[in-house]
Amino acid sequence: MNGKKQEWEAVVKIPFIDEKRLLGAMATRDHLLSPDQKRRNEFGVSLKFAYAQEVDYTYPSSLPGIFPDLEHCRCVENIFELPTMEGLDVYVGLVDGVKLGEAALAGFPSLRTLPHSGQLGFHGVSVFQQESRNESMVITLLEGEEKGTIAHAKERLGKAVHVGYPFLQEGKVTSVSDEMCTYRLASPNAPAVAQNIMQVPHEGQQLSDWRKKAGRIETFYNKRLGMNIGTVESLVQVEMLVGLRKLESGATMKEYAPVPGLEPDYATQTIVDHVISEDQRFIEKEAVPIEVEFPPGTRAFFLGDMAYGRPLEVTGHKDEKAEVWVSMLQNKEPDFGRDIAMNAERETPYRPSYAVAKMLNLHPLVLSKLTSAFNVQSSGLKLNLGLNLKFEAKKQKVLGYSRKNNSGWEYSQKAINLLLEYMTRFPEFIAKIESNPTGDGWTDTDFYPDPNEAKARTKEIGQWLKTVETKSFEKVPLDAEQLDGDVVKKIEAAADANAARSSQVQGKKIASVPRMALLKPSEATQQTSNQKFRTGDRVVYVLDSGRVPIAMRGTVVGVTRTTKTTLLDTVFDSTFMSGSTLDGRCSPFRGSTVPGEAVLNVTNRQVVAMSEAAKARAPQQQYTPLIPGQHVSTSHTGSYGMPGYGGPQLTQAQAPPPLRGGYRGALGGQANGAPRGGFAPRARGGGLGSTPTNGFQQTMPIHTRGGMNGAAGNFAPRGRGGGPNGFANGAPRGGRGGGGAGNRQGYTLIDNSDPTEGIVMNNPKFRPQNYSNVPPPADLNARGRGRGGGRGRGRGGRGRGAGAAQSA
């Protein structure tokens, strides 16, 4: 490595080859070559292969059994004579019209998009984890301080800008911030004027977080990129350009959205407002007539529900709509992909690591060592004697053997069987690790004291690991959804069985097709970029470019999500020249990894264009507004906590009254506002019952220990302190201490859980207080004395209180 830290920094030294020795060694084998092979080893002429529509033949495979025959080949071979330089002058330099600097085409970085200066100096730029000790060219932004103010940032709210200087990418400013506040538009479609800018102050941790973020951005430019951008006084938050979105009118507009894993904050002084050369792939266009966009003979894909994803050809137009000829399947295709994937999930359960350790009677640390890389020094070499089923640092798992979720690592039955075989073959090796689970820096003599035996046994373990081919296990990212090779082969077999049915097609003419029901292959990504996928989904390739033939159908066997796109491992229904084996999971030439926007998900239909008739037939969800005084729920019991049929309408709850009385009563369930006992202080029973206020009454039961007017827990009183006229809720029960008609204080009991209970309504000096402001009473543990109670035979409960309740 010559002192280098990274493997890619090393210089590979290739020894020079002696030409004479090489030719001499080859001459001893020339007689074994066939005449055709000898001819291919000679110098020949340049060949040109051109398309010819008039020919149609089958080109035989050059390697039968490996490469398939090329059917319907329309290619002819001609001798191509390379042009010569005779009579021509060599032009040295750049041609006229080349775009450089700030006018460079999109994707080509340039420092000239912002005013700057450069100077050599000892700046301590850190590229490879340590600061440079030599001089570096340092770039200084000339207008960094002036353009970094919050006032300059506010002017860009809601506008499209370019971020990431000097590697520019387009985005839209959604908000700006300084250390104290965040500013955003109150109305996103209105201009960024002072009346339309909303200010949100930072609180608590947000203040320090903002300063840390600003310092991190400034340090990254300064020490990592060698750019002095000045003090970061403000930041802009942007949503990145993710593509074009096609409207129903046919126009295209730019679509901005947050990108997962990408930092949305940028220093204001590094923002570029305008570029000379915009990316031609993302130019917004006005709608054109459907006759121009889809002329007769155009081939596309149908997005209607009746033939979703089927190829079509435009035959004519009428009334701003198209007439098409659709190739439809005679028999509906079964959803075999999802069924096989779901069955595989049920048949291959995963167990958490602690359960596996308990099952195998292993220490959890020992299980972790065996399932990862376990290095042992032997004869000066470092041998990896682990099973390599998980890779924590690389964030990878082994397909079909391990996976990780929020609770930790999990292992399949195949992984458990592999561990059992390891423990059975080398029990003394496992036992030594079990005796010291936290050990590190192992050598072969730690397991076998005899050096010769240690060398032989570690070599034997290594040979066994080679036989199980642990290093060839398929490693995928932790968040990837993948099906293993056995399941993929079942999907292939199901696709082969369905091939005969999918080849039976019939044409159907459909009129009055809107343009949104036509998916043009050259513009398909504008409509397919936001699809969601799962393993087992059936898809059809809809782009007119790429490695996969257009309109080829397949099944998703793997989903990998990146910061910019979703990649799909797909096994297609038939072979094609650029197909792969998906790392050995499928048959040759049937697999390919394609971006999610290149295919149309026909299992989970997400881009369906419904006709007017279909919209009319579709069930419409009914929404009933919550209007005061109107009963929303028509059921007897109501729903989501609403009153049942015939009950009052829910309204906003009032603020609770301040805490009154003793702490012991509050904890015991005493009704707030009136001490325990009918309407007499310190008597057993509930608090005040009052007539409904504000035009409503409370119907939600609140079960407390001390019910109203003697009812315990708001249930029918059975003892002292009954309902009106001495009855429980109006029913004669013979309760003691019943009140007379209208009771002593003239109140009529309507509800046992009135929200205004405990509030003295006629006290003009009443002010609600915080509960925590009430100090504990000095006589908290003292029992009350004195007699007195309400009317009838009712006593005032345990604390024989005073007479009728008095207003405060």
Q: Give 521-564 pLDDT, tens digit per residue.
A: 998 988 898 899 999 999 999 999 999 999 999 999 999 888 77
What tokens appear for 94 in the block? 């750049």
3-state secondary structure 632-665: CCCCCCCCCCCCCCCCCCCCCCCCCCCCCCCHHH
Q: What pLDDT digit, counting tens, does each position of 271-309 carry? A: 999 999 999 989 998 989 999 999 999 999 999 988 999
End-to-end CA distance of the chain: 90
How high is the pLDDT of residue 612? 60
State the chain's mean pLDDT as an integer: 79
Judge whether residue 758 has pLDDT over 90: no
How high is the pLDDT of residue 781? 63
Distance (Å) of CA 642 to CA 92, 645, 652, 696: 84, 9, 13, 14
Work out the percent of the chain whose per-residue pLDDT is above 70.
74
Higher pLDDT, 619 or 156: 156
Strands 538-541 and 599-601: antiparallel
CA atoms 686, 688, 689, 692: torsion sign: negative
Q: What pLDDT digit, counting tens, does each position of 430-452 carry? A: 998 998 888 888 888 888 888 88
Give me the amino acid identity at 36: D
Burial annotation 610-627 (CB, 10 A radius, 16+ → b, else e): bbeeeeeeeeeeeeeeee
Give me the amino acid identity at 496: D
Range of weakest confidence among 410-424, 522-536, 770-784: 770-784
Per-residue confidence band for 250, with pLDDT thresholds at 50, 70 and 90: confident
How high is the pLDDT of residue 270? 94
What tokens appear for 719 in the block? 């003892």
CA distance 159 to 191: 9
Q: Report whether 313 contacts 302 (CB < 8 A).
A: no
- Tell me which H or E stretch contains 666: helix 663-668
Q: What pLDDT digit, counting tens, does each position of 359-397 carry? A: 999 999 999 999 998 888 888 888 889 898 998 888 888
Overall average pLDDT of the 116-132 stretch = 88
CA-closest candidate to residue 214, choices 262, 267, 166, 278: 267
Strands 390-391 and 381-384: unpaired
* R_g of the chain, CA atoms, integer Å: 40
CA-closest candidate to residue 744, choices 808, 677, 797: 677
Q: Report whether 694 contacts 758 (CB < 8 A).
A: no
Q: What pLDDT digit, counting tens, does each position of 45-97 carry? A: 899 999 999 999 999 988 887 777 888 899 999 999 988 888 888 888 998 88
Judge whether residue 229 has pLDDT over 60: yes
What tokens appear for 103 in the block? 């006018």
Q: Report whether 293 contacts 282 (CB < 8 A).
A: no
Residue 743 φ/ψ region, left for φ over 0, alpha for ψ in the -120 to 50 degree band, beta for the rest: left
Q: Report whether 165 contacts 143 (CB < 8 A).
A: no
CA distance 163 to 171: 7
Overall average pLDDT of the 92-106 stretch = 90
CA-closest candidate to residue 419, choices 327, 348, 357: 357
3-state secondary structure of 325: strand
Overall average pLDDT of the 791-805 stretch = 43
How high is the pLDDT of residue 416? 93
Q: Report whether 271 contacts 203 (CB < 8 A).
A: no
User: Tokens 């060398």, residue?
Assistant: 455
CA distance 800 to 165: 82
CA distance 105 to 109: 9
How high is the pLDDT of residue 767? 56
CA distance 562 to 94: 38
3-state secondary structure of 434: helix
User: Which residues are 481's β-sheet partners?
Assistant: 559
Q: Report whether 368 contacts 523 (CB < 8 A).
A: no
3-state secondary structure of 458: helix
Per-residue confidence band for 6, with pLDDT thresholds at 50, 70 and 90: low
CA 500 distance to own-chain centroid: 38
Per-residue confidence band for 673, with pLDDT thresholds at 50, 70 and 90: very low
Judge whether residue 636 has pLDDT over 80: no
What is the DSSP-derived secondary structure letter of residue 10? S
Q: Report whether 743 contacts 700 (CB < 8 A).
A: no
Judge whether residue 721 has pLDDT over 50: no
Range of weakest confidence among 273-277, 413-417, 534-538, 612-616: 612-616
What is the DSSP-derived secondary structure letter of residue 729? T
CA distance 678 to 686: 6
The whole-model pTM stands at 0.62
How high is the pLDDT of residue 71? 83
CA distance 109 to 119: 20
What tokens appear for 580 in the block? 């792969």
- Give the DSSP letter string of 560-576: EE-SS-EEEEEEESS--
Dihedral of the alpha carbons of 199, 204, 205, 208, in degrees to the nearest 10: 80
Q: How is domain 290-330+504-519 classified at the CATH fold level?
A: SH3 type barrels. (2.30.30)
How high is the pLDDT of residue 2? 60
CA 17 distance to own-chain centroid: 54
Higher pLDDT, 8 or 294: 294
How high is the pLDDT of residue 637? 43
Per-residue confidence band for 572, with pLDDT thresholds at 50, 70 and 90: very high
Q: How many CB atoms lie under 10 A from the CB of residue 669?
A: 15
3-state secondary structure of 293: helix
Helix-, strand-, coil-residue percentages of the chain, each rounded to 5: 25, 20, 55
- Tell me which H or E stretch contains 357: helix 353-360
Overall average pLDDT of the 337-352 stretch = 89
User: Which residues are 245's β-sheet partners?
Assistant: 253
Return the CATH number of the domain spanning residue range 102-282.
2.170.260.40
CA 343 distance to own-chain centroid: 25
How high is the pLDDT of residue 167? 93
Overall average pLDDT of the 96-124 stretch = 91
Give the best-scoring range by mean pLDDT among 348-352, 377-381, 758-762.
348-352
Per-residue confidence band for 726, with pLDDT thresholds at 50, 70 and 90: very low
CA distance 774 to 657: 13
CA distance 133 to 125: 8
Range of weakest confidence among 176-180, 750-754, 804-808: 804-808
Q: Report whether 398 contacts 475 (CB < 8 A).
A: yes
Higher pLDDT, 292 or 504: 292
Give me the amino acid identity at 612: E
Q: What pLDDT digit, counting tens, does each position of 23-51 carry? A: 999 999 989 999 888 888 888 889 999 99
Q: Report whether 509 contacts 310 (CB < 8 A).
A: no
Cβ-based neighbours of 668, under 8 Å, separated by 6 or more: 705, 706
How high is the pLDDT of residue 332? 86
Cis peptide before 166 (omega within 30 of 0): yes
Per-residue confidence band for 594, with pLDDT thresholds at 50, 70 and 90: very high
Range of weakest confidence among 326-330, 419-423, 450-454, 731-735: 731-735
* Domain spans, the chain: 32-79, 102-282, 290-330+504-519, 363-477, 662-770+786-808
What is the DSSP-derived secondary structure letter of residue 731? B
CA-closest candidate to residue 651, choices 669, 677, 619, 629: 629
User: Tokens 């990592």, residue?
Assistant: 224
